[in-house]
Amino acid sequence: MSDATKLLGRAGENFAAQFLLDEGYKIITRNYRIKTAEIDIIAEKDGVIVFVEVKTREDLNHGLPMEAVNKRKQKKIIEAARVFLQNESYFDCACRFDVIEVYAFGEVFSAHHIENAFEVQSEF
């Protein structure tokens, strides 16, 4: 991954975090990592823990940002969410998995928030 791509991704995550704050979410943590996965943003709103994957694009040459959150990526996010919930002692809480697509047009950013972008297919 190039430095420019990393910088774009970081800028997109920062924009998405501010977007969530503006929408009334509380940011619990960012860039939560386990050995095999990372969750970009973990937030809470109205008693629901929200695991957010942020995908940033300058153009659509590689498809829509959401398309990059494939089954393999979803599985990794779910795995990290399980560890987070267990380690932080969140038991019997409502949670969901969202994707925020960030579009960067020069210095102008916009966000498309997809709530419940994917679901856990088995017992969580």
Residues whose CB is less than 8 angstroms from the CB of residue 21 and which lie 6 or more positions away in sequence, other chains included: 27
Segment 13-36, tens digit of pLDDT: 999 999 999 999 999 999 999 999
Return the minimum-mean-pLDDT range out of 4-18, 23-37, 40-54: 4-18
Distance CA(68)–CA(88), nearest Å, equals 28
Distance CA(15)–CA(12), nearest Å, equals 5
Sketch out the chain's domains with CATH numbers. Answer: 3-114 (3.40.1350.10)
pLDDT category, 113, cuts 50, 70, 90? very high
**pTM for the whole structure:** 0.92
Q: Which long-range contacts (CB under 8 A, 24 or more apart) does 68-77 make?
A: 69/99, 69/117, 69/118, 74/118, 76/36, 76/37, 76/38, 77/37, 77/39, 77/51, 77/53
Closest CA to 33 of 86, 99, 77: 77
Write out the two tokens for 112: 């498309």
